Structure 1
Amino acid sequence: MTLPPTSPPRAVHLRAEHHPDCLGIGEPSPRLSWRTETDTPAWVQAAFQLQSLNTSGQVLEETPRTERAESVLVAWPFAPLVSREQRRLRVRVWGQDGSASAWSELLSVEAGLHTPGDWQARFITPDWTEDLTRPQPAPLLRTTFSVRPGLVSARLYVSALGVYEARLNGARVGDQLLSPGWTSYHHRLRYQTFDVTEQLLEGENALGAMLGDGWYRGRLGFGGGRRNLYGERLALLAQLELTYDDGTLERTVTDDRWRASTGAIRASDLYDGETYDARLEQPGWDTRGFDDRHWTGVRTLDHDLSTLVAPDGPPVRRIQTLAALSVHTSPSGRTLVDFGQNLVGWVRLRVSGEAGQTVTLRHAEVLEDGELGTRPLRFAACTDQYTLKGGGEELWEPRFTFHGFRYVQVDGWPGSFDPAALEAVVVHSDLERRGWFECSEPLVERLHENIVWGMRGNFLDLPTDCPQRDERLGWTGDIGVFAPTAAFLYDTAGFLRSWLADLAADQLPDGGVPCVVPQVLETPIVAAAWGDAATFVPWALYQRYGDPDILAAQFSSMQRWVDYVAGRAGPSLLWTQDFQFGDWLDPAAPPDNAAAGRTQPGVVATAYFARSAELLGLSADILGRAEERGTYLNLASDIRAAFNREYVTPSGQIISDSATAYALGLEFGLLGTEGQRQKSGERLKMLLRENGDHISTGFVGTPLICDALCAVGAVREAYLLLTQEECPSWLYPVTMGATTVWERWDSMLPDGSINPGEMTSFNHYALGAVADWLHRRVAGLAPAEPGYRRLEIRPLPGGPLTHASARHVTPYGEASSGWRTENGEFVLDVQVPPNTSARVTLPTTGEVFEVGSGVHVWRRPQASVAPAPPITLDSTYDDLRLQPQVYRTVLDVVEAHSAEHVQAFRRAFQSASGTMNLRRALFGVPLRDKLARTLETVLGDQPKVRVLLEDRG
């Protein structure tokens, strides 16, 4: 047999730590990763070699050929980097088949400023008095300096108390937005590093910056919020370092020689928007030759430079723009622009008119009664104002705010309005997309797309709950359940590692984890599931990226959290005291009390206590901490036993008798015997049936419910839950036109009105955690070992889907799993990246295969599926639930006959054990014989049923 020729392997995508850009990194010894591209089947790395070169191409250090398959987060093998040091790195690899690669492309790595002593700059603030009760005009700061011949490189290191935009010789420095971002400022303040060599001129140059309130002193929190939480004075820290060919280094730094003024930004606030008066612009203020003699002085401001840290994740940037989809006039005569997508960012406008004319843009996510739906925004104005300077076309967009919106109300537009004059600018952290999902059901695909858009909008520098109202906080509970989904869709390793550092910094002295991080609430709230983000998020990142350093960095925080809960639970090991969010936003909870769900708070709190203790013990095992491993795994076992004694009957019924309670019991291993698991699984299925295959879980139960059903063999039920279109369900918002995931299952009611609850967001990703199940179970792509060193390919076809696929760029390269049914066959296509392997289980036959890298295809005869029986009056709910469109037609007929009895009919029919047929379920409905004849006529004429369904739209 002659094998086809293969090309040599290529080592690609060399990177340091989790940095997409290695300029100004904070690690002296960054770990290195690379991927290998090759068409050789089952290729496995046998060895590698690394080289370190200087900027002139001279080899400084190199490793010997290292006989290991390791290619992800390999320990730095060279001398540690000192501040400002530049290295160029490359790698080559050998395969177990004897193949060898050439050297990879060079990766440039440059250290930032690692110690406070590296900074000669000091924070400066304008030397004027401000009204700290409201937003103030944005300060402008500037200085000049000279550049002599022979410049080799220039680096600008910059940060701010507030947010900044740096300017050099009339142009923006870099493309980052809202820098330095939001961290726990008293403990960690990021600085950024820019290569500005090409922006400098020989002779005089001008360096400047404008500042905004941002998170530092802008309004934060709900109920009106509070200002000046971190400080009262905006300040800039900037250090420009010029390196010349003679080896000398010159610096221009922020000091008391700088000058200050204000310009066109009259107010900026993250919640309320930006006010800009173009008549007050100072043209050329950031260029050389500008006369700043009328500007005021500055003064230095004391701030601990040891809090400065280099970024771990990517910055916020403009990601894309969207044109207006449509424009219409509201009933009140307002001009409303629809961008067709709920997004986060702002509007860029082009306008011409007379000086002094003010254009006002107000933003909202939805419409209600044809008008802008602003009630969910609460105390956030979400309004930008631009006053024209006149004299021609003017282009403007805000700098120091952002909005969550789909619709914009335009007031004060000069002349006739052209929708092409506005475009929406999508803004969020510039994360690398890593994961995709497709399937045959358009509504499910749109649900997944909504989840992606929801993540994009809420991953703006840190993981927020929502991006539109007077909140936008780093709620721990939301990311605690969403982290696995996030890590599949995007590279979140550096982004979430930074947020976890803030979590540890803001952890309370007793170990409690506040429900928002950074902690800005007047009184910190500590609760189960929310605080458990301290253990759940590091564990999710470890599973997806295979990075034990994340566990090591967070271990103390994880341990303090578990010890805190142990102290609150006491000897009983049941956390039954303290406020709890419980299964937040259970659809049974009333609009004004989202915590009043069906699941007892102690059930949720104790279940999470057991799981966190277990994750801590498992983390200790990975880190080689044998004593802590034994302590916390034993604690987890004891908590499970206590849970079982208190909340589970010997037969397996769990107190609260809710879907969330059973999902927790099944997924967190809280049921002591197989008999209890079986009984709990049966009861979970019955609860789903009784609820008409609608979702009945909140933030806690929703990420677990489909996995729990699949774990007890209820795959059919999981698909019924997924594909339900009536409220409450995942697809109900999609049918209502949603383009992001809602906070509530019914954020908008079927009549188009907004939920009456005060807390209603139309962009909240927590309930989108189901996407993790879509990726792992529906498409069947999951890590069998941390970091996808080994893949688990095990799809679960079901429901109405005829195909589904997922692909993910793992640390080793792209992996994919896709199945389809065609011509009587089940076909599974799998791609396994080089230097990994996969365990593949075929759902049709149960066959298991161990395969190496490459593309693999399996074809098996598809099991014949009997056609759905015709629905008659003798059909049971179990017959009807498999034909949901027909069931909806039945409900329509019953409602038309007697609207006040339809809900009682549903409850009786759905809660029956399975023996009650449709005819018997009509008992109690007035004139039931007449109704039965009507239904018999409708159901007996299948073409008529189809017409009715078509009429429904």
Structure 2
Amino acid sequence: MPDWSAALIVPGSELDGAPLLRRELTLDTGHGEVTAAVLHATAHGVYEAFLNGRPVSDEVLSPGWSAYEWRLRYRSHDVTDLLEPTSVLGFALGHGWWAGRLGWNGGRGYYGSELGVLAQLEITFADGHVQRVVTDEDWTAGPSAVLADDLYDGQTVDARRYSDAWLRPGFAGEGWTGVRTGERDLATLTPYVGPPVRRQADIAPVRTWTSPAGATLVDFGQNLVGWVRVRVSGPAGTEVTLRHAEVLEHDELGVRPLRSALATDHFVLSGGEDVFEPTFTFHGFRYAEVQGWPGELADGDLTAVVVSSDLERTGEFSCSHPLLGRLHENAVWGTVGNFLDVPTDCPQRDERLGWTGDIAAFTPSAAFLFDVEPFLRDWLRDLAAEQQAADGMVAFVIPDVLKYVTKDDPEASAFPDPDSTAVWSDAAVWVPWALWQAYGDLSVLADQYDSMTAHVRRVETLTSPTGLWDTGFQFGDWLDPTAPPENPILAKADNGVVATACLYRSATLVAETAGLLGRSEDQAHFAEVAARTRAAFLEHYVGADGRITSDAVTVYALAIVFGVVEGEQRRLAGERLAALVDEGGYHIQTGFAGTPFVTDALTTTGHLDAAYRLLLQEECPSWLYPVTMGATTIWERWDSMLPDGTINPGQMTSFNHYALGAVVDWMHRTLGGLAPLEPGYAKVLVAPQPGGGITWAKTALQTRHGRVAVSWSTEGAEGLVVDVELPEGVSALVRLPDGTEREVGAGTSRVAAATAGA
């Protein structure tokens, strides 16, 4: 960690373009060769850094979005090879999350309105001498070719103004001015824990055509997050406009789901050969509408650039059912698109916030698909910081910009004054616990322990005299498909049942965490909270016939999976759950709270066939209905697009929302048969449960111990045959539907059963 002596600097006067800041430097002499040079940098806004005209890294949108009041992250770049005896260090700045639009009411600049950079270049010489070049009032600032930039609205670039002369020694450009120092507490500077954002892939268009209204439309074949790189030649002053959207409606660009987000880039041509890449914005899109193009579009003119936090892909899944393969791939793309520095709800409309409920539901799935441990541990630090400032309350979104949105415009919030809410606030417990299970590093629980306990302690104060969590605002089983499009909070599941079950789960997990960390007094306390909560649930919500209040699929799923009901009550809950699923025609009847757990609840109570029928349903609402409609990501609503090809009439619909894709966790464990028997897969459970007419599946995971792979088939004469591949030091318990159990060790093993099971 650097010994900071730099100051935040901002342009000394208003500029007519996004700011550029520069400093010319000469290497100290008499100390031998340069042995190392590291640039530590952060910004109010987002930055791109250059040394002698070359980018210092391939990262974009740094330093991302954190709880800026308490944590401003910096990046450290090795720039040794870029130094020259006389060098120019330069920064280009964009509004980013700091000063740009955030939320759905049109407000901006909630953290600040001034863009600035804080940087320290440390140059080490052969004799140990260190030369420091820091941001101070010796820098200068000037305007760039970027005339406007916003994450929601897009970017405007005038190539006639572009020049790289500001990155060369001796530059003295027109319109350049001095800088002044801004305000930043250096104690809030912290290194990244998670990975930076980078370009991940280039995607070429698959189709270009003219719409009925005469618009030029381009289809990139995949709903993605990023921007379009444009290569174009035309008369100087020509303006090319690209508008982005995820779907088509009535054969035109379907922009209504964007709400107020413009998602439009404007490029003004220089008259020569121009390449535009709007790196101070991002869009969620599959389609682009092109206006003002000089001549005809040709191959290579437009390229979609996929942008995401730089996550390592770890999990693989495939099976004999092609629609399930596409569903799984949709969950992968949903993760890539929404894990952009913050785990967002959606990447396209005027929102893009770190909703806690979404990631509470999806973390087990995400932790299989990608190595998300550093990414989510970084975000959890923001959660803890926001929570500490809010007396233990975990906000709806992290970073919690809504506290400013509602203060700025109280009418802008669709929700009452926030307080802890089930599933959403439970992210404080469920996310670190899922990371512990996936990666086996106990330090995540130790690091988040105060946050985890603070959440449960706060909820303890919110329960009613009955011991139920049936007070205050709740999202409940948000987006239950039976709720009206205009009011997704009106789920069938009773809010108190959902919340009380969630409190039981969180208290139980915190008690287990306290035990793991040797906090015996806390362990006893939270175990007592769990026991008290369960007793209240059973007394007030479970009838003598086993019926649970509101008699909804979600309440049974939560009660079963969380362990609230046991023995005969569990059996009755399982029977009623299966009956409800059957009565619903094996269509989905769950929202955010129930969807991650319903297939597990059916499976563990002896209704595997019902779980498969639910999974494989293709009519709306179902997991596979969007796949049959051509979806390439997970939708926010089960019917984000209606069967007639029109967009859901609700004011809130997204075609890239990972939460309802949480079923892929069950697919990995139950269909694929790969689960941790011990946290981090130090020991593996291989327990495939075939069904639904699926004849083979393959699942693999790069664990902290090495690659684990399971494949099974029922296509041969032997019945169910399971192949297992394990790394050194890892063993597995193979458990097959016919009761076969066998321990296997490192290397490859084959285990056969007499029948294929369900």
Q: Tell me how large the CA RMSD over aligned residues is.
A: 1.3
Q: Which residue of 2 aligns with 1:940?
A: none
| Equivalent residues in 2 for 1:385-784, closer than 5 Å | 385-391=266-272, 393-507=273-387, 508-521=389-402, 522-523=405-406, 525-526=418-419, 527-671=421-565, 673-784=566-677
Q: Are the equivalent residues in 2 in contact too, given 1:137–1:268 (CA < 8 A)?
A: no
Q: Offset of 1:662 from its aligned partner?
A: 0.5
Residue segments in structure 1 that go unaligned for 5+ positions in a row = 1-111, 131-135, 866-953
1:713 match: secondary structure: coil
Q: Distance between the aligned counterparts of 1:198 and 1:864, measured in 2? A: 61
The yes-or-no answer on 1:272 pairing with 2:148 is no
SS at match of 1:644: helix
Correspondence 1:374 to 2:255: yes
Any conservation in 1 of the 2:116–2:182 contact (CA below 8 Å)?
yes
Cα drift, residue 293 of structure 1:
7.0
User: Is structure 2 residue 21 aligned with structure 1 residue 141?
Assistant: yes
The aligned amino acid for 1:166 is A
In the other structure, the counterpart of 1:852 is: 745
Separation (CA, whole Å) in 2 of partners of 1:475 and 1:141: 34
1:564 CA displacement: 1.1
Q: Is the 8 A contact 2:689 2:736 kept in 1?
A: no
| 2:239 corresponds to | 358
Q: Which residue does the alignment assign to 1:299? A: 180
Q: Distance in 2 between matches of 1:605 and 1:388?
A: 56
Describe the SS at the equivalent of 1:386.
strand
Which letter does structure 2 place at the counterpart of 1:212?
G
Confirm or deny: 8 A CA contact 2:689 2:757 kept in the other structure: no
Q: Name the amino acid aligned to 1:351.
A: V
- 3-state SS of paired residue (1:568): coil
Aligned residues: 740
**1:820 corresponds to which of 695, 713, 733:** 713
Between 856-865 and 376-385, the greater mean CA deviation after superposition: 856-865
Per-residue Cα deviation, 1:737-757 (whole angstroms, up to 9, x for no partner): 000000000000000000000
Partner of 1:338: 219
CA distance in 1, matches of 2:50, 2:77: 12
State the Cα distance separating 1:151 from its structure 2 match. Answer: 1.2
> Matched residues in 1 for 2:149 and 2:310: separation?
23
Contact residue 464 and residue 470 of structure 2 kept, 8 A: no
1:236-263 Cα offsets, whole Å, 9 max, x none, are 0111111111221111111101000001
Match of 1:196 among 79, 83, 97: 79
Larger radius of gyration: 1
Task: In structure 2, give the amino acid aligned to 1:704.
Answer: F
Q: Deviations for 1:805-844, whole angstroms, at most 9, x for unmatched residues?
A: 210011000001111112222210111221121111122x
Match of 1:128 among 13, 28, 33: 13
> 2: CA distance between counterparts of 1:579 and 1:188?
29
Write the letter of the residue equivalent to 2:90.
G
1:902-913 map, 5 Å: none
> Structure 1, residues 147-183: CA drift from partner, whole Å, max 9, x if none?
2561111111111011000011011110110001110
Q: Is the Cα–Cα contact under 8 Å of residues 175 and 317 in structure 1 kept in the other structure? A: yes
- For residues 310-347 of structure 1, what are the alpha-carbon distances to aligned partners after superposition, in whole Å with 9 as ceiling and x for unaligned? 11111000000000000111111000000000000000
Residue ranges of structure 2 left out of the alignment (5+ in a row): 407-416
Matches within 5 A, 1:181-220: 181-201=64-84, 203-220=85-102
Shift of 1:419: 4.6
Counterpart code for 2:393? G
Q: Do the aligned partners of 1:337 and 1:419 also contact (CA within 8 Å) in 2? A: no
Give the drift of 1:415. 1.3
Matched residues in 1 for 2:396 and 2:123: separation? 44
Distance 1:796 1:181 in 2: 42
Tell me the alpha carbon deviations over residues 913-950 of structure 1, each in whole angstroms, 9 at most, x when there is no partner.
xxxxxxxxxxxxxxxxxxxxxxxxxxxxxxxxxxxxxx
Matches of 1:842 and 1:763 in 2, distance apart?
36
Return the alpha-carbon distance in structure 1 between the equivalents of residues 427 and 511 of structure 2: 16
Q: How does 1:783-822 map to 2 (within 5 A)?
A: 783-822=676-715
Give the aligned partner of residue 409 of structure 2. Answer: none
- 498 and 864 in structure 1: CA distance in 2 versus 1, 3 angstrom threshold: closer
Matching of residue 831 in structure 1 with residue 725 in structure 2? yes
Give the secondary structure class of the aligned counterpart of 2:59: coil
Deviation at 1:864, TM superposition (A): 9.8
Amino acid at match of 1:222: W
For residues 338-370 of structure 1, what are the alpha-carbon distances to aligned partners after superposition, in whole Å with 9 as ceiling and x for unaligned? 000000000001100000000000000000000
3-state SS of 1:645 partner: helix
Q: What code does the residue aligned with 2:219 have?
A: D
The one-letter amino acid paired with 2:470 is T
Secondary structure of 2:114's aligned partner: coil
The aligned counterpart of 1:884 is none
Change (3 A) 1:795 1:243: same
Asked whether the 8 Å contact 1:693–1:724 carries over to 2, the reply is: yes
Are the aligned partners of 1:215 and 1:270 in contact in 2 as well (CA < 8 Å)? yes
Paired with 2:119 and 2:317, the residues of 1 have a C-alpha distance of 44
Sort the Cα spacing of 1:863 and 1:803 in 2 relative to 1 into closer, same or farther, 3 A. closer
- What letter corresponds to residue 339 of structure 2 in structure 1? F
- Give the counterpart letter for 2:140 in structure 1: R
Amino acid at match of 1:664: L
**CA–CA separation in structure 1 for the residues paired with 2:164 and 2:538:** 71
Structure 1 counterpart of 2:361, one-letter code:
V
State the one-letter code of the partner of 1:172: P
TM-score, structure 1 normalization: 0.77
Amino acid at match of 1:200: L
One-letter amino acid of the counterpart of residue 755, structure 1: N
Aligned equivalents of 2:498 and 2:260: distance in 1?
32
Aligned-partner Cα distance in 2 for 1:509–1:458: 26
Where does residue 870 of structure 1 map in the other structure?
Answer: none
Distance (Å, rounded) in 1 between the aligned partners of 2:478 and 2:715: 42
What secondary structure, in the 3-state scheme, does the structure 2 residue paired with 1:488 have? helix
Instruction: Identify which range, 818-827 or 462-471, moves more after superposition.
Output: 818-827
- Distance in 1, Cα, partners of 2:475 & 2:635: 18
Report the Cα distance in structure 2 between the residues aligned to 1:863 and 1:517, rounded to whole angstroms.
45
What letter is aligned with 1:301? G
**Identical positions, percent:** 55
Q: Is the 8 A contact 2:691 2:757 kept in 1?
A: no
Residue 38 of structure 1 corresponds to none
Give the C-alpha shift of residue 286 in structure 1: 1.3
AA in 2 matched with 1:651: D
1:235 corresponds in structure 2 to 116
Which one-letter code corresponds to 2:491 in the other structure? G
Letter in 2 for 1:125: V
- TM-score if structure 2 supplies the norm length? 0.96
The answer on whether the counterparts of 1:617 and 1:633 sit within 8 Å (CA) in structure 2 is yes
Rounded Cα–Cα distance in structure 2 between residues aligned with 1:364 and 1:325? 16
